[in-house]
Amino acid sequence: MKKLLYFGFSTLVLGLSITSCNDDDDYQTIESIDKVKIDSVRIVNDTMDVFTVQSIKTYSTYPSHCEGFYGYDYIHTDSSTRTVTAYKYITNGPCAQGSYTAPGQINFSPQQVGTYTFKFWNGGSNWITKTIVVE
């Protein structure tokens, strides 16, 4: 009985050690990161309370599915002004062609009362300006 258990355990260990992981993962490598213009901005409430959270959605257009939203550069220019630049990733490999629009999201949680101005980069020296009043 002991030999049978030993044989079964040895066979299991041998089987697991022979089985290898599939190194052919189905993903693409990010080749570069670049700015992408923000086409539009959606702010649900232009007035909000201090210490609450509001999601601000931005929308950008990408020329193919080899590109997509990567992140933001969110800069506090002063206590009430924010400049926002969106970035896209660019991958290698085969991708579905055709442009598409995708959202990004910032969660804004003001810590003091005031009027906040957001400037979203829209390409070149153009900015989309939005204002939120915090009470």
Residues 84-128: pLDDT tens digits?
999 999 998 788 889 999 999 999 999 999 999 999 999 999 999
More confident residue, 28 or 35: 35
From start to end of the chain, where are the E strands?
30-36, 40-43, 47-48, 54-64, 67-76, 81-91, 97-108, 114-121, 127-134
Judged by DSSP in three states, 84 sits in: strand
Q: Indicate if the pLDDT at residue 5 is higher than 50.
A: no
2, two tokens: 């002991």
The residue extents of the domains of the chain are 28-134
Going by DSSP bridges, is the β-strand pair 81-91/67-76 parallel, antiparallel, or unpaired?
A: antiparallel
| Fold annotation for 28-134 | Immunoglobulin-like (2.60.40)
pLDDT given at position 49: 98
More confident residue, 4 or 76: 76
More confident residue, 31 or 24: 31
Torsion of CA 129, 124, 71, 66, to 10 degrees: 130
Q: pTM (2 decimals)?
A: 0.78
Shortest CA distance to 135 belongs to which of 42, 50, 25? 50
Does residue 127 contact residue 35 with C-beta atoms inside 8 Å? Answer: no
Q: Indicate if the pLDDT at residue 66 is higher than 60.
A: yes
Q: Residue 18: phi, psi to the nearest 5?
A: -75, -35
Instruction: Determine the average pLDDT of the residues in 21-33.
Output: 72
Residues 94-106: pLDDT tens digits?
888 899 999 999 9
24, two tokens: 């052919």
